[in-house]
């Protein structure tokens, strides 16, 4: 599968009409005169991501979180409390995730955010400590986790949306290629449900080990299915290897994968390899300049980069980074109603009592509501953006599809 701030930017990036605290998801703009330096007790947020894994690496998640925190702090913090970002590398392993969960507890953070693909390892720890989480959803297990209030449906809506993107591109049949990891069967079920709703015949499912390093046999298997499209649920390196192997044998289906696993440069690279690449995403991409919220995010990351914050460059602005930027701003917004120190307990009470918060023109966060079965933590209707890669950039439709409505979930 990736906000809030203490005050509206001068240009007005949000709508106050449905915001519990009245800031409308606006943010202290990098061009706004800085307020007094916040001197209150820090508002500590754990930001979890992965770096150095052969499957994926998202240092931009840390950069986006720090940029959002800087924008809020430059505007005076949250009622005078500075946001402090505590980072952790989950290493994309169960042990790494559990270590991050323990670190969050020992650091006494008020919230858990970022990109976590091993949620079942951390949620019991967070629940026991009473720490609310807003990290990106990566699996159905995330969508039913206790004390979890994600900003977008991200991984779940992206997987369901793969077949809708294929259908929009004209495909009537599809094969699915995905990595084997704990719980991957649930992703197969999601993709099958999306295919049925989209009118696409999913005739082949090919699961491969995460250690797969040659893709000739995988491509041959997919090609033998004789489908219009191939849906990919792989890491960036595996996706690139798959398309390279397909090029070698002139296999040219419609390719569909999710943007959450890709950095902007990787999107460009894959787009150069095939004219028929479709992506799905839980949030608009970083170059979607028609969104005022995306413009604000880019401005905040640019300002943070100039101030020496690492991992904020254009190549770091993946879906996970964008979602995390929204997460930090959303937490800042909901915390503005707290009197006194911002702790896990006080923040959880504020979240559970919050009115819907409009996060710029990107989404509305309604943490006090409940999503449909079997996704009670997903409260945005399963919003997914999808569209083609053209001229090296992801170009989705302006409005997301609400896949939960398409699946008739209640």
229, 200 Cβ separation under 8 angstroms: yes
| β-bridge mates for residue 265, sequence order | none
Does 159 score more than 50 pLDDT? yes
Mean pLDDT for 67-76 is 98
Instruction: Note the pLDDT of residue 102.
Output: 97
In this prediction, what percent of the chain has a pLDDT beyond 70?
92
Return d(Cα 379, Cα 242) in angstroms, integer.
Answer: 34
- Indicate the CATH number for domain 156-281+386-406: 3.40.50.2300
Same fold, 16-153+286-379 and 156-281+386-406: yes
- 152 or 15, which is more confident: 152
179, 241 Cβ separation under 8 angstroms: no
Fold of 16-153+286-379: Rossmann fold (3.40.50)
Task: Provide the sign of the torsion angle of the four alpha carbons 371, 374, 377, 379, taken in this order.
Answer: negative
Phi and psi at 380, nearest 5°, equal -105, 15
Does 14 score more than 50 pLDDT? no
pLDDT tens for 362-377 read: 999 999 999 998 899 9
Confidence of residue 25 (pLDDT cuts 50, 70, 90): low
3-state secondary structure 116-129: CCCHHHCHHHHHHH
| β-bridge mates for residue 402, sequence order | 383
Mean pLDDT for 278-292 is 93
Q: Which of 3-7, 175-179, 212-216, 319-323 has the lowest mean pLDDT?
A: 3-7
pLDDT tens for 231-253 read: 999 988 899 999 999 999 999 99
- 23 or 90, which is more confident: 90
Does 20 score more than 70 pLDDT? no
- Mean pLDDT (the chain) is 90
pLDDT tens for 297-353 read: 999 999 999 999 999 999 999 999 999 999 999 999 999 999 999 999 999 999 999
Closest CA relative to residue 160, chosen from 371, 405, 395: 405
Angle at the Cα of 314 from the Cα atoms of 90 and 104, rounded to 5 degrees: 25
Buried b (16+ CB within 10 A) or exposed e, 27-49: bbbbebeeeeebeeebbbbbbbb
Map out the domains of the chain as residue ranges.
Answer: 16-153+286-379, 156-281+386-406
């Amino acid at each position: 599968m990736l906000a809030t701030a203490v005050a509206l930017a001068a240009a007005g990036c949000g709508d106050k009409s449905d915001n519990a605290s009245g800031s409308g998801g606006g943010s202290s703009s990098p061009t706004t005169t800085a307020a007094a330096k916040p001197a209150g007790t820090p508002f500590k947020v754990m930001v979890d991501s992965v770096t150095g894994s052969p499957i994926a690496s998202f240092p931009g998640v840390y950069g986006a979180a720090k940029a959002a925190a800087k924008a809020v702090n430059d505007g005076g913090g949250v009622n005078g409390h500075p946001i402090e970002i505590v980072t952790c590398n989950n290493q994309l392993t169960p042990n790494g995730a559990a270590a991050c969960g323990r670190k969050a507890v020992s650091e006494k953070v008020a919230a858990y955010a970022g990109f976590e693909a091993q949620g079942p390892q951390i949620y019991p720890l967070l629940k026991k400590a009473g720490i609310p989480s807003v990290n990106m959803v990566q699996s159905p297990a995330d969508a039913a986790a206790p004390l979890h209030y994600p900003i977008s449906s991200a991984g779940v809506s992206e997987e369901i949306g793969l077949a809708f993107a294929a259908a929009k591109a004209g495909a009537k049949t599809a094969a699915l290629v995905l990595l084997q990891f704990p719980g991957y069967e649930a992703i197969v079920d999601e993709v099958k449900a999306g295919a049925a709703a989209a009118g696409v015949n999913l005739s082949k499912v090919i699961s491969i080990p995460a250690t797969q390093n040659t893709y000739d046999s995988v491509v041959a298997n997919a090609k033998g299915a004789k489908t219009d499209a191939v849906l990919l649920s792989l890491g960036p390196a595996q996706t690139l290897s798959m398309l390279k192997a397909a090029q070698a044998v002139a296999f040219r289906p419609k390719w569909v994968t999710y943007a959450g696993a890709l950095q902007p440069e990787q999107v460009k690279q894959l787009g150069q390899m095939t004219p028929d690449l479709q992506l799905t995403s839980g949030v608009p991409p970083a170059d979607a300049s028609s969104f005022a919220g995306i413009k604000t995010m880019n401005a905040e990351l640019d300002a943070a980069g100039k101030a020496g914050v690492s991992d904020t460059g254009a190549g770091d602005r993946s879906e996970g980074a964008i979602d995390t930027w929204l997460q930090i701003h959303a937490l800042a917004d909901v915390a503005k109603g707290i009197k006194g120190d911002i702790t896990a307990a006080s923040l959880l009470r504020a979240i559970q009592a919050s009115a819907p918060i409009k996060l710029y023109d990107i989404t509305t966060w309604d943490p006090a509501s409940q999503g449909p079965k079997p996704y009670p933590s997903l409260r945005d209707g399963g919003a997914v953006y999808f569209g083609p890669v053209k001229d090296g950039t992801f170009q989705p439709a302006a409005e997301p599809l609400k896949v939960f409505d398409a699946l008739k979930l209640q």
